[in-house]
Chains A and B, each alone.
Chain A
Amino acid sequence: DGGITQSPKYLFRKEGQNVTLSCEQNLNHDAMYWYRQDPGQGLRLIYYSQIVNDFQKGDIAEGYSVSREKKESFPLTVTSAQKNPTAFYLCASSSNTGQSRETQYFGPGTRLLVL
């Protein structure tokens, strides 16, 4: 089955630690996105990538970093510079062509908690 997988489902971060969230898709989509969801605030865009080896900052990129070395993978690193990392993180992807090119498809999410 085609889809988007995120791992782990829950992640715990210690003070001063960098952690990496995984996002993999087998939909052959060119574009991938990372969102952060906080209660009552909807979704906010962290980073996005339209093609391999290229990515752009979203609205709240500070304290986060990404890479896009392969089409199917878009890992997100939450660095120690992110002072309030507790949130639900959602990865999404979309095609750049065809009728469905405007639709983003989401993974199941990773909940990050600070110890």
Chain B
Amino acid sequence: GDSVTQMEGPVTLSEEAFLTINCTYTATGYPSLFWYVQYPGEGLQLLLKATKADDKGSNKGFEATYRKETTSFHLEKGSVQVSDSAVYFCALRGTQGGSEKLVFGKGMKLTVNP
């Protein structure tokens, strides 16, 4: 079945450091890919998404490119801020039966220090 593998962390960075969170997936066909962010004690918020190969999703300085050849959707930000401290989840929505469901990675906790 469909699956998502992502860096699990936790990761601690200094403010203004470069961030990369790796995410790879296994799925049949062409799934849609998502990054969600969860701030402490809250639900998940959609950060960005991409629905087809070579699409780039971007939001709040974060970017991720849908790479079909490497089955990857790595999240990047050039300069992190303290306010980016959160848990980041990579997810996919498949194209086969039951594709209404999202399949999530285990999440990666990021802490950004001043």
Contacts and interface: CB of A to CB of B under 8 A. Distances in A.
Interface of A: 4, 6, 31, 33, 40-43, 45, 48, 50, 58, 90, 92, 94, 102-109
A58 B101 contact: yes
A109 B43 contact: yes
Interface of B: 8, 32, 34, 36, 41-46, 49, 51, 89, 93, 100-102, 104-107
Nearest to B33: A102
A48 B104 CA distance: 15
Contact of B93 (A48, A102, A105, A106): A102
A107 B43 contact: yes
Given A4-B43, A92-B44, 13 more contacts: A40-B8, A40-B106, A42-B106, A43-B44, A48-B100, A48-B101, A50-B100, A102-B32, A102-B49, A104-B102, A106-B43, A106-B44, A108-B42
Most chain A CB inside 10 Å of its own CB: which residue of B44, B104, B106: B44
B43 A90 contact: yes
A31 B100 contact: yes
B104 A42 contact: yes
B68 to A, nearest CB: 17
Nearest to B31: A102
A50 B42 CA distance: 25
Most chain B CB inside 10 Å of its own CB: which residue of A4, A43, A90: A43
Given A102-B32, A103-B34, A42 B107 contact: yes
